[in-house]
């Protein structure tokens, strides 16, 4: 029987503060000034950011890993093509809402950086499908 398991992305509190405080301040200012046009612009932006933060998920379904970040990113990876998993703190743009990340190298030259909330369990589940993957932890 094939099981499906979904992991949410970890979310750094500082990320919410850095991204959220300016939006709260600007929204408050727009409300104070009664700038309804400005609100019509900023509210969809806030909704998009919330959608990305809450919609970033990693799903293992049989031998497929699906990486999803809202409606922006939707990548399917055959777990049997994964070569390595490496812990990283890369700040490069990625479908990850935390800097506590792992980089997954697959195929010949492809990679994706993600931040599952429970990294150890996620890695264990991936290894249960393909135990030939090299896992490198930071020291």
Q: What is the pLDDT of residues 52-79, one digit of tens each?
A: 889 999 999 999 999 999 888 899 999 9
pTM of the model: 0.85
Would you place residue 139 in the very low, low, confident or very high pLDDT band (cuts 50, 70, 90)? low
Give the start-to-end residue ranges of the domains of the chain: 1-139
Distance CA 32, CA 37 (A): 13
The answer to whether the beta carbons of residues 70 and 86 sit under 8 Å apart is no
Cβ proximity of 114 and 104 under 8 Å? yes
Give me the CATH code for the 1-139 domain, please: 2.30.29.30
Vertex 79 angle, CA 76 and 81, to 5°: 100
Question: How does pLDDT run across 31-47, given as a tens digit for each residue?
Answer: 999 999 999 999 999 99
Q: How confident is the model over 129-138, as pLDDT tens digits?
A: 999 999 998 8
């Amino acid at each position: 029987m094939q099981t499906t398991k979904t992991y949410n992305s970890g979310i750094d509190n500082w990320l919410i503060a850095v991204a959220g405080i300016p939006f709260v301040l600007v929204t408050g200012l727009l409300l104070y000034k009664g700038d309804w046009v400005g609100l019509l612009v900023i509210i969809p932006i806030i909704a998009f950011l919330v959608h990305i933060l809450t919609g970033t998920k990693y799903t293992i379904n049989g031998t497929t890993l699906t990486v999803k970040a809202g409606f922006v990113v939707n990548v399917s990876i055959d777990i049997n093509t994964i070569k390595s998993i490496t812990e990283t703190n890369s700040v490069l743009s990625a479908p990850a809402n935390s800097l506590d990340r792992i980089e997954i190298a697959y195929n010949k030259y492809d990679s994706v950086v993600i931040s599952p909330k429970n990294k150890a369990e996620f890695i264990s589940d991936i290894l249960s499908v393909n135990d030939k993957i090299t896992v490198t932890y930071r020291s």
